[in-house]
Amino acid sequence: MDHCDAPSSHSPQKVRRRRVFYIPGYDPIHPRRYRELYRKEGATQAAISGYQIDLIGRQGPGTYGWQVTGRIDGTETEAEFDVLVWADIVRDSMKLNIAQTYLLMARTAWTYIAYGTLWRLMRLRKGPVIAALYPVGMLILQLILALLLGHILGYVAAFLAGQLALPGAAAIAYVLVFAATFIVLLGWFRKIDHRLYVYYLMHDYAYSARSKGANPPELEARIALFSDQIAEALCSDVDEVLVVGHSSGAHLAVSILADLLRAGRVPKDGPALAFLSLGQVVPMVSFLPDAHRLRRDLQDMSVQSRIAWVDVTAPGDGCAFALCDPVAVSGVAQDSGKNWPLVVSAAFSKTLSPARWKELRWRFFRLHFQYLCAFDQPGDYDYFQITAGPLTLADRYRDRRPSASRIETPVSKYTSMAP
């Protein structure tokens, strides 16, 4: 039965205990950031919406998480959060010097252009494509500025050295000052990248492009570990296991859950299992030629009936493929039998007040995390009610129709799947 056609007479079972597994995107930062974000934004949303959220930090062996008690709609729900950390893999992938980063830029740009992926991505949403081109343009601009300033200062140094009337002094002065200026300026740009996000984004897009969409061995090993952790939770005494994948974490979650299904590790009499994908960038990977595994996982997740999958994006998020059905646009949706995902808009321009929307509208990276934050005019998407409230994800969206403006046109050039 399609999720949109579920009978409205269904009586939802109250969730008293929930396990939440949060999978971040390509992020080198310590996961405590997500705990503090949940603490701050949860308190804000609770004050706006009239419920209560209490958070207690937790540091367990091998995992990082926290515990939440939600008192919503007259029901108390306990939720235990685990962040499925792959920040160490991210940090290792970013250990490149400036010259190596420029070579990586050239290789990544060639991959997306030569295989025709870039042009097809632009047919979906220009925002995330512009975000992908931003680090390329900025790295080229930084190189030009370093060359130009190096030449100007080198020329000045050569002129001054020429006044000494020493053989070769002008040429030596030019070369030394040019090289020093060039190196120092590029190094300075790298030092302030926490403000510009140029190197960070370049490494982000390059990580999948290096292997043309296939998962590197270290990522496959981490996916297997995450699968084991979720499988263990599915054998515990909770009412719902909720997997949340944000940004690049969304396509990792797709593969993790598809693996669990194929391995028969989703017990029929176990807790409800649900998947919430937020701000997904799946096409950046699934459109690459060797993403055979991801495309198979997307198709398997779309036709199964065991895991409710709700995909939430917003046109105001320029870093996500907003309202693009990740299965359909990747060209792997079956003609019949497709159940998931339910594509829903967070509608930032409506769920944020005009003043708040004006404040955040051009803060692109901040908006990419808005799904994890409070809304001052909340609609039917509320991250804190989903994760700490009394309804399962399936029940919360049981009667929700998919967003009318969603994009389902198959666009990917590559549709081959792993056997």
Distance in angstroms (rounded) separating the CA atoms of residues 232 and 212: 32
Instruction: Spell out the alpha helix ranges (H) of 210-347.
Output: 217-233, 248-262, 283-286, 292-303, 326-329
Tell me the mean pLDDT in the region 334-342.
Answer: 88
Angle at 321 between CA 320 and CA 325, to 5 degrees: 135
Query: What is the band of 59 on the pLDDT scale with cuts at 50, 70, 90?
Result: low
pLDDT for 292 = 97
Q: What are the Cα distances from residue 104, in Å, to 114, 203, 240, 331, 357?
A: 15, 8, 42, 28, 36
For residue 107, the 8-state DSSP code is: H
- Least-confidence region, from 20-24, 217-221, 360-364, 396-400: 360-364
Angle, helix 198-209 to helix 126-162, in steps of 10 degrees: 120
3-state secondary structure of 262: helix
Exposed (0-12), middle (13-18) or buried (19+): which is 9, by Cβ within 10 Å?
exposed
Tell me the mean pLDDT in the region 53-58.
Answer: 87
3-state secondary structure of 65: strand
Tell me the mean pLDDT in the region 243-249.
Answer: 97
- Least-confidence region, from 38-47, 197-206, 270-279: 197-206
Distance in angstroms (rounded) separating the CA atoms of residues 72 and 85: 29
Distance in angstroms (rounded) separating the CA atoms of residues 226 and 130: 32
3-state secondary structure of 161: helix
Instruction: Spell out the alpha helix ranges (H) of 242-378.
Output: 248-262, 283-286, 292-303, 326-329, 348-351, 354-360, 364-367
pLDDT for 60 = 59
Query: What is the band of 5 on the pLDDT scale with cuts at 50, 70, 90?
Result: very low
**Identity of the residue numbered 277:** S
Report the relative pairing of strands 63-72 and 52-60 from DSSP bridges. Answer: antiparallel
Neighbours of 223 (CB within 10 A): 20
CA 233 from centre of chain = 23
Q: Whole-model pTM?
A: 0.91
User: Is there a contact between 330 and 283 (Cβ–Cβ < 8 Å)?
Assistant: yes
Tell me the mean pLDDT in the region 256-282.
Answer: 96
Q: Which residues of 16-27 are buried (b: 16+ CB within 10 A; e: fewer)?
A: eebbbbbbbbbb
How does pLDDT run across 278-330, given as a tens digit for each residue? 999 999 999 999 999 999 999 999 999 999 999 999 999 989 999 999 999 99
| Of 143, 158, 154, 161, nearest in space to 179 by CA | 154
Residue 242's H or E segment, with its range, is strand 240-246
Exposed (0-12), middle (13-18) or buried (19+): which is 69, by Cβ within 10 Å?
middle
Query: Token pair 């400036």 is at which residue?
Result: 98
3-state secondary structure of 196: helix
Cis peptide before 31 (omega within 30 of 0): no
Q: Which residues, at least 6 apart from 371, have a Cβ–Cβ distance to it below 8 Å?
A: 246, 278, 279, 312, 314, 346, 381, 383
pLDDT for 160 = 87
